[in-house]
Structure 1
Amino acid sequence: MQPLISVITPSYNQGKFIRQTVESVLSQNYPRIEYIVVDGLSTDDTLPILGEYSNRLTLIAERDSGQTDAINKGLRLATGDIVCWLNSDDYFLPGALATVGDFFADHPDKLWLTGDCQIVDEASVPIQQPVRHYKRLLRSLTPSLYLGMTNAICQPATFWRRDAHAQLGYLTESLHFTMDYDWWLRLQTLQPPAILPQPLTAFRIHANSKGGNQYALQFDEDYQTFSRYWSGAPIRFLHKLHNRAITTVYNFVK
Structure 2
Amino acid sequence: MHEAPLVSILVNNYNYGRFLSEAIDSALAQTYANIEVVVVDDGSTDNSAEVLATYGDRIRLVAKENGGQSSAFNAGFQVSRGPLICFLDSDDIFEPHKVARIVEIFAGDSEIGWCFDRARHFEDTTKEWFPWTANVHKGKIDARGIVANGHAPYVFTSTSGLSFRRETLGHILPMPETLRIKSGISSDNYLKFAAYSLSSGWLVSEPLTLQRIHRSNAYTRRVSDKARIVGLSDILLGMCLSREFRILQHLGTKIFAHGLGKLWATGGLELEHREIAGTFLKSLSPQLRIEAILRAMWWGASEKFRRQSWDH
User: Alignment partner for residue 204 of structure 2, among 184, 196, 207?
Assistant: 196
Structure 1 portions without partners, runs of 5+: none
Contact kept? 1:124, 1:204, Cα under 8 Å: no
1:119 and 1:81 map into 2 onto residues whose CA distance is 29
Name the counterpart of 1:115. 117
- CA deviations on 1:104-161 (whole Å, 9 max, x unpaired) are 12222211111111111214724431xx528x6266899569x726543332112011
Which residues in structure 2 correspond to 1:77-156 (within 5 Å)?
A: 77-123=79-125, 125-129=127-131, 132-133=132-133, 137=136, 148=152, 150-156=154-160
Query: One-letter code of the match for 1:158?
Result: L
State the 1:230 CA deviation. Answer: 6.2
- Percent identical pairs in the alignment equals 23
1:149 and 1:108 map into 2 onto residues whose CA distance is 22
Contact kept? 1:172, 1:182, Cα under 8 Å: no
Does 2:67 align with 1:48?
no
Name the counterpart of 2:173. 169
Alpha carbon RMSD of aligned pairs, Å? Answer: 3.5
SS across alignment from 1:189? helix
SS across alignment from 1:68? helix
Structure 2 portions without partners, runs of 5+: 243-247, 259-294
Name the counterpart of 1:11. 13
SS across alignment from 1:178? helix
Tell me: CA distance 1:117–1:168, structure 2 relative to 1, closer, same or farther (3 Å).
closer
Tell me: CA distance 1:93–1:242, structure 2 relative to 1, closer, same or farther (3 Å).
farther
- Which stretch has the larger CA shift, 65-74 or 184-193? 184-193
Contact kept? 2:142, 2:196, Cα under 8 Å: no
Contact kept? 1:139, 1:152, Cα under 8 Å: no
Does 2:250 align with 1:231?
yes
- CA deviations on 1:50-98 (whole Å, 9 max, x unpaired) are 1111120011223131121112100111110111221110110121011
Contact kept? 2:5, 2:83, Cα under 8 Å: yes
SS across alignment from 2:17? coil
Query: One-letter code of the match for 2:101?
Result: T
Name the counterpart of 2:279. none
- CA deviations on 1:215-240 (whole Å, 9 max, x unpaired) are 333321454335733637xx87xx78
Name the counterpart of 2:231. 220
User: Alignment partner for residue 207 of structure 1, among 215, 224, 233?
Assistant: 215
2:233 and 2:64 map into 1 onto residues whose CA distance is 29
Name the counterpart of 1:61. 63
Query: One-letter code of the match for 1:78?
Result: S
Query: One-letter code of the match for 2:229?
Result: Q
Bigger share in helix: 2
Does 2:159 align with 1:158?
no
2:211 and 2:83 map into 1 onto residues whose CA distance is 24
Tell me: CA distance 1:138–1:196, structure 2 relative to 1, closer, same or farther (3 Å).
closer
TM-score normalized with structure 2 length: 0.67
- Which stretch has the larger CA shift, 54-63 or 115-124? 115-124
The structure that has the greater radius of gyration is: 2
1:193 and 1:16 map into 2 onto residues whose CA distance is 34
1:81 and 1:242 map into 2 onto residues whose CA distance is 41
